[in-house]
Amino acid sequence: MTMARIRDQGLTILFLTLFAGAITGQAFAGLAQENADLAMHGQPPLVFWDFVTSSAFLVDVAENWQSEFLQFFVFIAATVWLVQRGSSESKLPGKEGLGSDREQLLGRHAETSSPAWAKVRGLRRILYSNSLLLAMGTIFVLSWLAQSLAGVVVANDDRAAHGLQSIDWGAYVLSPDFWNRTLQNWQSEFLAVGTMIAFAIYLRQRGSPESKPVGMPHDVTAAES
C-alpha cells in the first residue's frame, strides 16, 4: 500500500489498529482475572484460546458491541427527522426528512461515478438508501443475541456453583442481571451522544469536521455555512 493510500484510509487504519490492540489487551487481562478466580477455587487455569472462545469472554465483548451499534443506529435514524440548531451534528433546521432525489443524487439525478444502486429504481434503491441504518441495526441485533446466548451460559455456570437450578434463555433475557448489564451500557452511550450534540453548539475543535469553524456563532448550524 502506497503512502497516499495509507493517508487516504488513515482514520479506518487508526481505529482498526486501536480496536485490535484494545481487544487483545482485554483478552489477556480477562484471562489473568479468570485464572486468578479459578486459582481461588482450586481449579486449573485456562489457556488463552480456551478463554477467548469461552462464553465469559464473548458476553463481555458482545455486551459492549451491541450498545455501541445501538448508539449509532439511534443517532443515524434520529438525525433524519430531528435537528439541533447550532450543532455540527445536525442538519439545517427546516431540512428534516429524507431529502429529494435531486439532493440525494438518485435516479436521473445520479452522477456518472455514483454507486450503481443509486441509479436504479425499486427495492435495490430502497435497500441502498437505507443500507447504513440496516447494517448498524443488524450488527446490534446479532450482538445482542450473542450477548444473551453467552450470558445465559455464564449465568447458569454461576448458578450451578451455588447449587441453584439452571434457567433457560427466555428467563435469562427477562432477568434483572441481563437488563442491569445491558442498561449500564445503553445509558452511557446515549449520554455520550447527547453531550456531543450539545457540546458541539458551544465548544470548538479547530480542524475537526465534527466541529463548526471556531469563529462561527453558537446559534448557527454548521450546515448553514
**What is the DSSP secondary structure assignment for residue 82, as one 8-state letter?**
-
In three-state secondary structure terms, 116 is helix
Hunting for cell 481461588 — which residue is that? 40
Task: Of 207, 192, 216, give the one whose Cα is nearest residue 71.
Answer: 192
Q: Is there a contact between 137 and 73 (Cβ–Cβ < 8 Å)?
A: yes
pLDDT in tens, 73-126: 999 999 999 999 999 898 888 889 998 899 988 889 989 999 999 999 899 999
CB hemisphere CA count around 36 (13 angstroms): 6
Tens-of-pLDDT digits for all 225 residues of the chain?
688 888 888 989 999 999 999 999 999 999 999 999 889 888 899 999 999 999 999 999 999 999 999 999 999 999 999 999 999 898 888 889 998 899 988 889 989 999 999 999 899 999 999 999 999 999 999 999 999 999 999 999 888 888 889 999 999 999 998 999 899 999 999 999 999 999 999 999 988 888 888 898 888 886 665
Angle at 29 between CA 28 and CA 32, to 5 degrees: 85
Alpha helices of the chain — where are they, by DSSP H?
A: 3-8, 10-40, 48-52, 55-81, 123-129, 131-161, 169-173, 176-202
